[in-house]
């Protein structure tokens, strides 16, 4: 087993992932501004899109955030008309969230913003490197349990 260790902190994957991730997030926040969304709102839309309707507590667990945060994210998305909240008739404690057509439109707008950002981000890379980066990040994302 190979153990290549970086000899300086800026050379580590961790350092680079942390800082580049924060930069990308800042840019994404700016790009989402006109849509009145934050990254966590988009994350919730993605979850409802890929996993289908879900109760708030399920969402909290999947996203790894507090249930109280799901309440305010859902409040906002409901106000935008992006999701519907329906009480589960079988268990009236559950609020089942589902994507509306407007929500799907918002998600598409978020995707467009991310694709524009991707183009900027990948600008210094060769075509080959872009493909490689996408493939390798895909492996790490799958390992981390992110939706595809």
Partner DNA sequence: TATTGTTATACTCTATAACTATA
Partner DNA sequence: TATAGTTATAGAGTATAACAATA
Binding characters for its own copies, 37-56, by CB under 8 A (x = yes): --x--xx--x---x------
Rounded to the nearest 10°, the torsion over CA 77, 69, 44, 53 is: -80
Distance CA(107)–CA(113), nearest Å, equals 10
Q: Which does 69 bind (CB under 5 to 8 A by kind): its own copies, DNA, none?
A: DNA
Shortest distance, CB of residue 87 to DNA, whole angstroms?
8
Q: How far is the CB of 81 from DNA (least distance, A)?
A: 16
Q: Which is nearer to its own copies, 94 or 130 (CB)?
A: 130
**Alpha-carbon distances of 76 from 25, 42, 121, 145, rounded to whole Å:** 20, 11, 29, 26
Binding string to DNA for residues 82 to 111, with x set by CB under 7 A, is what? ---x----xxxxxxx---------------
Angle, helix 56-63 to helix 67-79, in steps of 10 degrees: 110
């Amino acid at each position: 087993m190979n153990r290549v260790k970086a000899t300086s902190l800026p050379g580590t994957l961790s350092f680079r992932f942390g800082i580049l991730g924060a930069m990308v997030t800042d840019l994404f926040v700016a790009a989402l501004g006109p849509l009145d969304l934050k990254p966590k709102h988009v994350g919730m839309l993605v979850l409802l899109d890929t996993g289908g309707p879900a109760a708030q507590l399920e969402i909290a667990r999947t996203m790894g955030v507090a249930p109280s945060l799901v309440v305010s994210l859902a409040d906002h998305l409901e106000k935008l008309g992006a999701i519907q909240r329906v009480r589960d008739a079988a268990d009236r404690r559950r609020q089942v969230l589902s994507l509306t057509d407007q929500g799907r439109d918002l998600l598409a707008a978020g995707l467009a913003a991310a694709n524009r950002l991707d183009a900027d981000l990948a600008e210094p890379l060769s075509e080959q490197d872009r493909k490689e980066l996408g493939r390798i990040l895909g492996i790490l994302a799958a390992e981390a349990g992110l939706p595809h």
